[in-house]
Amino acid sequence: MPSQSEIKLFSSLKLKKFRQKYGLFVVEGAKTVAELVHSSMKVRHILTSHELPFDAGDISVAHISVKEMERLSSMDNPPGILAVVELPSYGAEISENSRGPVLALDGIRDPGNLGTMIRTADWYGVRDILLSEDCTDVFNPKCLHASMGSFQRVRCHYGTLKNLIPGTGLPVVGCTLHGSNIRETNLPERCVLLIGSESHGISAGLLPLLDLQITIPRFGQAESLNAAVAAAIALDHCVH
């Protein structure tokens, strides 16, 4: 049984500053926790208010009350199973043997959008995402939830994009409002695909890094696309 002070510590992990202080984050839901047990991530504890529907091997499993689970959970309807996991550290190294582009995200604040982007990136075989420091933290509970487990497979590297992007040595393609029609453009097989925020687009300071600007053609009247939707359509055109 975890002590009350441990419960308090785990509950604090909803906030980024405590995740960074303790080097831990919390994941909820039987499916994702079961996947994590077999992943390269280090699961410290599993806490459950139910019977555990999978074998946790030699990971410590503690049974807690429904009330304690409600305190720990970030969800309106707590799934009743959560894991406390060590924050991975990937450094700045990009996977060598990846097929898809490297995704780079500038100023993506919405955790649901960021999680959806990680999920879509995983679908298209992206192994690495570069994120500006002002992007939401990937280990935010809403972001993890929207990623549907894909946060385990896609490595998220935070830093200054002005340094991280040239560090890859890859050509840089940016999604902007005034680029070439994405349908009529030959995109390099291996590149950095840079997506900006819905409200501010790609930061002015990053535009000189772009080798190519692409635009998703508009046929109707919406002013813009949701950032996760734009990233998905761009990825669909990038990956062959």
Give me the residues that bind a second copy (CB under 8 A), please. Answer: 99-100, 112, 116, 119-126, 146, 148-150, 153, 216, 218-226, 228-229, 232-233, 236, 239
Shortest CB 234 distance to a second copy, Å: 10
CA distances from 197 to 65, 69, 132, 159, 194 (A): 41, 35, 11, 16, 10
Which of 153, 162 has the CB closer to a second copy?
Answer: 153
Closest approach of a second copy to the CB of residue 102, in Å: 13
**From the CB of 144, what's the least distance to a second copy, in Å?**
14
The two tokens of residue 146 are 């929207």
Considering beta carbons, is residue 110 or 137 the nearer one to a second copy? 110
User: Which of residues 84 and 146 has its CB atom nearest to a second copy in the complex?
Assistant: 146
Taking the C-alpha atoms of residue 52 and residue 58, their distance in angstroms, rounded to an integer, is 14
Closer CB to a second copy, residue 58 or residue 223? 223
Quote the least distance from Cβ 77 to a second copy, whole Å: 14
Rounded to a whole number, what is the distance in angstroms from the first to the last CA of the chain?
50
Rounded to whole angstroms, the Cα distance separating 154 from 149 reads 10
**Distance from C-alpha of 84 to C-alpha of 154, rounded to nearest angstrom:** 19
